[in-house]
Amino acid sequence: MRKIAATLFLLLGLLAARASWANELRAQVTITTENVTITDPNLVQSMQAAMVNFLNDRTWTRQTYRVGGGVDERINLRMFVGITAIPQNGTYQATMRLVATRPVYGTAYETNVLNISDRNFNFNYTPTTPFDFSPNSFVSNLSSLLSFYAYLVIATDQDTFSRLGGSIYYDQARIILQYSSNQSINNEGDTGWTDGSPRNRYWLLNNLTDPQLEAFRTSLYAYYRQGMDIFIEKPAEARTSILTALSTIQKTNVVRPGTLFVRAFFDAKADEITNIFRTGTQEQKQQLVTMLSDTDPDNLVKYQTLLRP
């Protein structure tokens, strides 16, 4: 009996050693400075490390994410920041591109969930200034930018696992947007937090949370959880679910043409969609091309390759 108990204890110990809990994000940040002159090379390294630590070392939700034992549930996030100007010491004008992925169940394949850009990713930074975050008040524009996108990534990821599962995280992103748009300290005014431009983070969040566009978010669940995640075991059923999701997105685009997030979706998914239907039926291929000819004309040439003999 003692041998059995000892064996069970050892087994539980090994499982505990193999599986642990982690924060939500596994972020990588790359900063480029081709258009500016920075005399201290350590400054960019310090800035990059500060952004990575800010994103990865913070607990953003009450969700549990397993790591170990061949499992890593953290959300992969790559952020590319290109500094375009330094108006004064410690002030940076930049652009940012963000790519977030999630694994497809039962495979080693990572599928893009987000592929978005921010052309006004402007901030103040000095290595000696504490870099912190408050969920309900403005600390700095860089803190607001990173936390806003952290919640946006988590919210969208949650939407792919359950219908409208990311709602509470979109709400937190909105809180950040609201207090950031109203701040006036440290000369860090940022028009990206307001409705002044049609393709900024204000409209990105409003597209995602507009009740008229709610069907777009439910289509994410159909595309990923009911489509991609079952593709290996049930490819025909998966393609049907993905076609249904794309049809829903098409209808959403009719209600509100040219929304920022519909554009971002196809920027992330066009190649993947083409590959999914490359081995589909001719009827599915024709349906897809017809459906996306108006919804995603920028990638129509890719889809039309499916109709070639």
Over the stretch 267-299, which tens digit does the pLDDT of each residue have? 889 999 999 999 999 999 999 999 999 899 999
Mean pLDDT, the chain, as a whole number? 88
Contact 307, 285 (CB under 8 A): yes
Q: How many helices (H) and strands (E) does the chain have?
A: 10, 8
- Helix/strand/coil percent split, the chain, to 5: 50, 20, 30
**Residue 134 to residue 49: CA distance in whole angstroms:** 20
| pLDDT confidence tier of residue 106, bands split at 50, 70 and 90 | confident
For position 3, what pLDDT does the model report?
Answer: 41
CA 154 to mean position of chain CA atoms: 7
C-beta atoms surrounding 155 within 10 Å: 24
Half-sphere exposure of 259 (CA within 13 A, CB side): 24
The reported pTM is 0.88
Give the lowest-confidence range in 5-14, 24-33, 96-105, 272-281. 5-14
Greatest pairwise CA separation for the chain in angstroms:
74
The pLDDT of 215-226, averaged and rounded, is: 95
For position 151, what pLDDT does the model report?
Answer: 97
Contact 277, 238 (CB under 8 A): no
Q: What angle do CA 123, 258, 121 make, to 5 degrees?
A: 5
Whether residue 81 has pLDDT greater than 60: yes
The pLDDT of 172-179, averaged and rounded, is: 95
The pLDDT of 103-119, averaged and rounded, is: 91
For position 13, what pLDDT does the model report?
Answer: 43
The pLDDT of 53-78, averaged and rounded, is: 87
Whether residue 212 has pLDDT greater than 50: yes
Whether residue 257 has pLDDT greater than 60: yes
Q: Which two tokens stand for residue 275?
A: 């590959």
For position 15, what pLDDT does the model report?
Answer: 40
